[in-house]
Amino acid sequence: MATTGTQAVDRAALLVSTVVQADVPLSFADLQEACDLPKSTTSRMLTALERSELIERTEDGSYVAGGLFWLYAARHDPGEDLVRLAAPTLAAIGEATHETVNLSVARGDRVVQVAQVDSQFLLGTRDWTQVDVPAHCSSLGKVFLAWDVVQLSAGALEKPTEVSLDDPGVLRADFKRSRRRGWAITVDELEVGLAGIAVPVHGGRGQVVAALGVSGPTQRLEARFAELGRLLTKHSAELTELLRGKTPQEGAA
């Protein structure tokens, strides 16, 4: 009996999902065995899936996810969902502190600030979104370094100011202190007169997916680090619950 349209779709979907979920490229034989399909059917469907860019072949003939998947991933940055979910949190922190509030993510070995709420003071800080700064000189960057999301550069570290930490041993000790107390701080390390404090935001599997922080003039922030650290930790926990698909109230005692 001829394969129905629904059967053909089911078989094609099975081939695509098997390729996409595999940790390594799969050979023709691997796919035929995993999907339990006739050789002729497997060959015909793989050819059609290649034409539609749902899968593609590597140089050795194995199959991997196709260009459409990479295009979708590029256009649907999970950071966009993070920014959307975090917007009320950033606004609440800004209202409570009146200072600049920042949200960062790690992209490869870089730390990128993806959202900001501006200071309500006349003397605040600049817009840092999408600005590339040395991770070891910012409190947000130090979160990713202290929680082992990104690694210190193996080469000479930048020293934007006289008090910037550029010794790997000194920085590692600083990272240990950050993890112990739950937040990272910088004072005049990126720019003279600028201080910052940041905490990690965890994802569904406990991994650090973002850093949430406050920055502003050193003379205003330095004496408030403990207060701000507690505030940021509270809001970070609420944002973590949102990222895990819950409301902040669920599971509360």
**Same domain membership, residue 191 and residue 67:** no
Lowest-confidence pick of 21-30, 118-127, 134-143: 118-127
**Same domain membership, residue 227 and residue 105:** yes
CATH of residue 227's domain is 3.30.450.40
Helices assigned H by DSSP within the chain:
5-21, 28-35, 39-51, 67-75, 78-97, 139-146, 168-181, 218-221, 225-243
Average pLDDT over residues 174-202: 96
Average pLDDT over residues 189-198: 95
**Same domain membership, residue 40 and residue 103:** no
pLDDT of residue 247: 41
pLDDT of residue 124: 57
In a domain, 116, yes or no: yes
Residue 211 has pLDDT above 50, yes or no: yes
* pLDDT-based confidence at residue 204 (cuts at 50, 70, 90): confident
Would you give the distance in Å from CA 223 to the centre of its chain? 30
Structure tokens at 197: 């404090």
Nearest to 183 by CA among 148, 228, 248, 222: 228
Average pLDDT over residues 6-30: 91
List all residues 6 or more positions away from 18 whose beta carbon is below 8 Å from its beta carbon.
26, 31, 34, 35
Lowest-confidence pick of 126-140, 179-193, 204-218, 237-251: 237-251
Residue with tokens 């993070």: 82
**Same domain membership, residue 192 and residue 120:** yes
Of 43, 74, 105, the last residue of a domain is 74
In a domain, 198, yes or no: yes
Structure tokens at 186: 């910088």
**Same domain membership, residue 190 and residue 116:** yes
**Same domain membership, residue 88 and residue 38:** no
- Summarised one tens digit per residue, pLDDT across range 215-244 is 999 999 999 999 999 999 999 999 998 887
**Same domain membership, residue 66 and residue 123:** no
Domain assignment of residue 141, given as a range: 78-243
Q: What is the DSSP letter of 156?
A: P
- Summarised one tens digit per residue, pLDDT across range 123-152 is 656 666 656 788 999 999 999 999 999 999
**Same domain membership, residue 100 and residue 70:** no
Average pLDDT over residues 43-53: 92
C-alpha 223/C-alpha 239 separation (Å) is 26
In a domain, 253, yes or no: no
